[in-house]
Amino acid sequence: MIRQARAFVLASAIACVPAQAQMRISGAAIAVSATGSVSVPNDQATAGFFVLEEHQDKATAASRVNAKMKQAVDVLRMEDPQAQLKTRTYSTYPLYPSDEASGGKPRRVVGWRVLQYVDVKTTNLARLPRLVAAGQKSMGLGLSSLYFGLSDAARRKADQRLIDDAYLQLNERVAAVAKTLGRNPSDAVAELIDFESGSGGMPIGAGYSRAADEPTTIEEPSFEPGESTLTLRITGRVKFK
């Protein structure tokens, strides 16, 4: 009975420890994280165009793609002289009969598909609808993708706002932590502050579709560039006096 009574008293004492004990934080460093964010109107667009040709003769298909892409690039440069153009892909694929079984034998090549992409990056968003329409009107040129985002200049311009917001969020988190710990926020001293940035853009998929072989009348499209949200994660290592 005496042993059981002692065991009961010991168990009761252990159960009461978590409720009564408090963490001692004097002199201890505490890591506090926060995230700042700013939304910035997109000022840059990247449009992806392509030329696709299929022919029984590989050289003929390649020559047509080369000629049409040269014509398309000239049209795009004329519409927006300040735009940056970059070739992304140039590929050649064999074509096989869809209703012919191989039977373990080499498949018969019946034609060739040649494909070339070119990306156009521009900050002239007011002229973008005209640029895209001109590209689509060009012989054999199709639109595969369209992305809106921020130029380097826009990111640099927003950087100070982003840092200010992140630092404000960190101070608010430190004040909340101090309140929980029963300490005065003014007693907090930062030993280290670390920044880690990120961003979110706005892609618009244009699909994969081949343009008509002959130029047609195309109305200018309408676009809404939207905005991008820049984020900055900040972590402070804080000690209380």
Examine residue 75 and state whether it is found in any structural domain, yes or no.
yes
Residue 216: pLDDT band with limits 50, 70, 90: low
3-state SS class at 13: helix
In a domain, 62, yes or no: yes
- The arithmetic mean of pLDDT across residues 137-151, rounded, is 87
Rounded-to-integer distance, Cα 100 and Cα 108, Å: 9
Mean pLDDT score, 2-22: 47
How many whole angstroms separate alpha carbon 171 and alpha carbon 187? 12
pLDDT score for 190: 85
Over the stretch 163-199, which tens digit does the pLDDT of each residue have?
Answer: 999 999 999 999 999 898 888 888 888 888 888 855 5
Q: What's the DSSP call for residue 212?
A: P
How confident is the model at residue 67, as a pLDDT?
A: 93
Domain CATH code at residue 101 = 3.30.70.2970
> Nearest-5° angle of CA 164, CA 32, CA 22?
145
| Residue at 189 is within a domain | no
Determine, yes or no, domain membership for 123.
Answer: yes
Domain count, the chain: 1
Domain-located, residue 229: no
The CA distance from 241 to 232, in Å, is 28
Name which residue leads in pLDDT, 118 or 139.
118
| Residue 52 within any structural domain of the chain | yes
Q: Nearest-CA neighbor of 74 among 40, 120, 111?
A: 120
Q: Which amino acid is at 231?
A: T
Mean pLDDT of 53-65: 95
Q: Which domain holds residue 105?
A: 45-145+206-224
In a domain, 87, yes or no: yes
Q: Indicate whether 128 belongs to any domain.
A: yes
Q: Using 50, 70 and 90 to split pLDDT, how confident is the model at 15?
A: very low
CA distance 128 to 231: 28
